[in-house]
Amino acid sequence: MRTRRKFLVKAGGMLVAAGAAATIDAPSVIAQPKVQWRMPTLWAPANDVLMNNANFFARTVESLTGGRFVIKTFAAGELMPASGMFDACSNGSVEAYNGGAYYWAGKEPAMQWFTGLPFGLNAEGTYAWFNHDEGLKLMEEVYAPFGLVPRTGGGTNAQMAGWFRKKLTSIDDLKGLKIRIPGIGGKVYASAGSAVVLLPPGDIYTALERGTIDAVEFVGPHDDMKLGLHQVARYYYYPGWQETTSVTEFTFNKKAHDALPADFKRALDAAALASQVMSIGEYSVKNSIAMRKLLTEHTGKVEVTRLSDTLVEQFRKLAAQAIQQESERNAATKKVAASYARFQSLIGSWGKVSEGGYYSLPRRFNAPGLLLVGEGAGLVNVPRLKGVHYAIESGRLAAEAAFRALQRGEVVSRVGALDSYDESLRASSHWKELYEVRNMRQAFDRGFFVGGALASVMTVTKGRAPNGRLPTHPNAAAPLKKTGRASRYPTPDGTYVFDKLSSVFASGNRTRDDQPSHIRVQTQVPRDLAEMWEWMCPAHVYEVGEADGDGTVEVLVNPSNCVQCGAISAKGGRLTPPEGGSGPEYTLT
């Protein structure tokens, strides 16, 4: 009994000690104080996508922290005037705000680059600059002197050029025009002689209705119709050159942010990243619905019109000048502008996938009197080797669009007469299929096994993962890889000693000597043309023969030498697949 009592005493002591230890550790788990923040926004209640995005951000933070971190959102004007948010957050009157960086350009002009630029990056490119390059780092540097910590929020995708009460026919129509437009786009209009007005979203409709302004640029069909802009202006122009996307910001008071525990800070970051995906998807759906409504229910009242190519090019020149001027304002603008321009050049070079697919599709599939269909328009499902039925379906949609235009009495050479073809194509199942496999080609740049794994994920998720756009590089930027055939060549000695036929032999060409010619060229051509063919061919396929009395020469063709480089097809000839499957020995690297 005594031994048993001794054991119980010791066991009890151990339990008490364990309980004490648990009590010491418990505050980090269950006794952490609840944090409550207030976050005014720039958005009127009618801006439902932008307000949804702010509320989604707040709900996500609360969910990730188990209800311990609550952010209360306010529409514009509910807590304070929208124009006072930046200063209020900077001085600690509120802990956070949700707005657009270019509205604070008067504080620091470099902030304009953190929303969107004329003829700038699209939504994917902008988020890539922020999240995978140095965009966010630069944004933090610019905001730091104001005691603020910024994070990028939701984006709008491509925008419209705006609503105008009078038709635009030339750059001269901009002189004296009173237009509401923020950012560097506003400076472009100012340089063209317009009077630029800055108004928060809630004041736009009244100003346009009363004639205080003549035109307004806001976002796109959904938001614009929510404000009722289609009721007070007739001409709705595109493309939205002034903002190829518009990115919002979630910005926090630095002292309030620094006081948060690490997991709360991670929740803010995660919620901001999630908001980017949510807003882009919601805008894609709601803008599509709103645009269809404009085109079907407001015909005769609203004209959705494309800006002339001449006017767009004039805007482009003025925009380049405005961006250059703004970039020279101070050290911050120079640094941010240089980073943005470098990144835009970097990702712009690989924006097309040469063999077709989603990223090689043109922005527009119609022009006055012209419709692009089939493989020539990039409508090829490369991973599934599908092209024929895509071509047939796009041809059917093109025919229907042309027929509808003729039924309406349209002149098909008019700008916009065939726009319904683009809309039908983007709403088709083929467009959805191309989007689902948009990253297949780029995935295999990472090797067969990694590419195969990524391709499997894309197939299972129908393209939802990996999200966004996988980067690749243009062929010209690909690193050269040596194969075993490199050893067949002698070491270069600085002197040209290799004739073309020796190089063809070393290349591993296995074309049969008796193969019928698969090259279609004229055999009697001017001497200059024949000599050009002989010079440009890397395999000595073409030889200049005897001269005829009419000033031409005979072209001799050696088809068995051909390595199928295709150069002749750009110089007047034509290649067809050689018979029997013979040809150059290509090696996958």
- Indicate the Cα dihedral angle 239, 245, 248, 249, nearest 10°: -150
pLDDT at 252: 98
Alpha carbons within 13 A on the beta-carbon side of 430: 27
Helix or strand (DSSP H, E) at 138: helix 135-143
Dmax (CA) for the chain in angstroms is 130
Helix or strand (DSSP H, E) at 23: helix 2-25
pLDDT at 578: 62
Contact status, residue 223 vs residue 243, Cβ threshold 8 Å: no
Contact status, residue 41 vs residue 54, Cβ threshold 8 Å: yes
What is residue 114's DSSP assignment? G
From 179, 152, 165, select the one nearest 277 (Cα to Cα): 152
From 437, 354, 74, 162, select the one nearest 85 (Cα to Cα): 74
416: left (phi over 0), alpha (psi -120 to 50) or beta: left
pLDDT at 162: 94
How far does Cα 21 stand from its chain's mean position?
Answer: 53
- CATH fold for the domain made of 484-581: Alpha-Beta Plaits (3.30.70)
What is residue 37's DSSP assignment? E
- CATH fold for the domain made of 35-157+247-284: D-Maltodextrin-Binding Protein; domain 2 (3.40.190)
Alpha carbons within 13 A on the beta-carbon side of 11: 6
Q: 35-157+247-284 and 484-581: same fold?
A: no
Question: Do strands 178-180 and 215-216 pair parallel, antiparallel, or not at all (unpaired)?
Answer: parallel
CA–CA dist 540, 161 (Å, integer): 54
CA–CA dist 463, 456 (Å, integer): 10
Q: What's the order of all strands across the beta sheet hosting 96-99?
A: 96-99, 247-253, 148-155
CA–CA dist 208, 190 (Å, integer): 18
Contact status, residue 199 vs residue 334, Cβ threshold 8 Å: no
Please state at what angle helix 331-348 crosses helix 309-327, rounded to 10 degrees: 140
* Coil, strand or helix at 195: strand
- Whole-model pTM: value is 0.58
Token couple for 86: 């930046």
Give DSSP secondary structure letters for 317-362: HHHHHHHHHHHTSSHHHHHHHHHHHHHHHHHHTT---TT-SGGGS-
Query: Which residue is associated with the tokens 């043309």?
Result: 529
Listed in sequence order, the residues at least 6 apart from 484 whose beta carbon sits closer than 8 Å to its beta carbon are: 587
Give how far Cα 99 sits from Cα of 85, 130, 267, Å.
8, 17, 19
- Over the chain (589 residues), the average pLDDT of each successive run of 10 is 40 40 41 84 90 95 95 94 94 96 93 93 89 95 97 90 93 94 92 91 89 93 92 91 92 97 95 91 87 88 87 91 94 95 76 51 77 75 65 85 87 80 85 78 64 70 72 56 57 60 62 67 82 79 80 81 69 61 48
Domain extents for the chain?
Answer: 35-157+247-284, 349-473, 484-581
Please state at what angle helix 331-348 crosses helix 123-132, rounded to 10 degrees: 120
pLDDT at 187: 93
